[in-house]
Amino acid sequence: GAVVSQHPSRVICKSGTSVKIECRSLDFQATTMFWYRQFPKQSLMLMATSNEGSKATYEQGVEKDKFLINHASLTLSTLTVTSAHPEDSSFYICSARASTSGSLTDTQYFGPGTRLTVL
């Protein structure tokens, strides 16, 4: 099956620093990738939709200048949390849509997640 990886799996950083998280589709091309955030005991909330070669679309309430998304290739999207603060501590999960047919309903494959802790 399709595999999506994330790196790093865990990161601890000091308040005010920036952290970059990578999401890669390993065995398929993904024109669209999605970034989710999950707080403890809560469900996944979509942060943004990332299309290769264009600007990401952010959900309401998500600061685009704080959560920078780059989708430079068909297999890689990055999420940079800029000037991180303790309230940004969360579990960040990406997914990639295998666009073999170009349908918007193609299956999304999820990465294993990145645990961010901001001290």
Partner 1 sequence: KQEVTQIPAALSVPEGENLVLNCSFTDSAIYNLQWFRQDPGKGLTSLLLIQSSQREQTSGRLNASLDKSSGRSTLYIAASQPGDSATYLCAPLSGGSRLTFGEGTQLTVNP
> 77-96: which residues touch partner 1 (CB under 8 A)?
91, 93, 95
Residue 6 or 75: the one with the smaller Cβ distance to partner 1 is: 6
Q: Does 48 bind partner 1 (CB under 8 A)?
A: no
Query: Quick one: how far is CA 117 from the chain centroid?
Result: 16
Q: Does 49 bind partner 1 (CB under 8 A)?
A: yes
CB 69 within 8 A of CB 48: yes
Given the complex with partner 1, which of 38 and 82 has the nearer CB atom? 38
Q: What residues form DSSP beta bridges with 61?
A: none
Give the count of beta carbons closer than 10 Å to the beta carbon of residue 48.
22
